[in-house]
C-alpha cells in the first residue's frame, strides 16, 4: 500500500481531500450509488463487507455481489 500511496498523491494535503475518502465528506447527500464486488479470497473481504454495512447504516444506496468458489 505504501508504494501505491506514494505514487497516487502529490502531497500530504491530498489525504484531506473528500474525493480521496468519502468518509471525509460533511454530508453524504448526492453521492452516486455504490457497486461492491467482493471475492471470498480477497484479503480485504471483511473490511469491504464492513464498509457495505456502514453504507447501509448511513443510507447510501449500495448493491453488492459476493463471489465464491473461484479456482
Total number of domains in the chain: 1
Given this model, what pLDDT does residue 28 score?
75
Binning pLDDT at 50, 70 and 90, where does residue 71 land?
A: low
pLDDT for 45 = 87
Which structural domain range is residue 27 located in? Answer: 15-67
> What are 4-56's pLDDT values in tens digits?
777 888 888 888 888 787 778 777 777 788 898 888 888 888 888 888 888 88
Residue 2 lies in a domain: no
Answer yes or no: is 6 within a domain. no
Query: Can you give the pLDDT at residue 32?
Result: 81
7 falls within a domain: no
Give the per-residue pLDDT at 30: 77
**Sequence-distant contacts of 41-45: CB under 8 A, at least 24 apart:** 41/70
Amino acid at each position: 500500500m505504501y508504494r501505491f500511496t506514494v505514487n497516487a498523491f502529490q502531497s500530504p494535503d491530498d489525504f484531506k481531500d473528500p474525493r480521496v475518502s468519502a468518509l471525509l465528506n460533511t454530508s453524504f447527500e448526492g453521492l452516486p450509488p455504490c457497486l461492491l464486488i467482493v471475492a471470498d479470497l480477497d484479503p480485504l473481504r471483511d473490511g469491504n463487507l464492513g464498509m457495505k454495512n456502514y453504507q447501509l447504516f448511513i443510507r447510501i444506496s449500495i448493491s453488492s455481489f459476493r463471489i465464491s468458489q473461484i479456482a
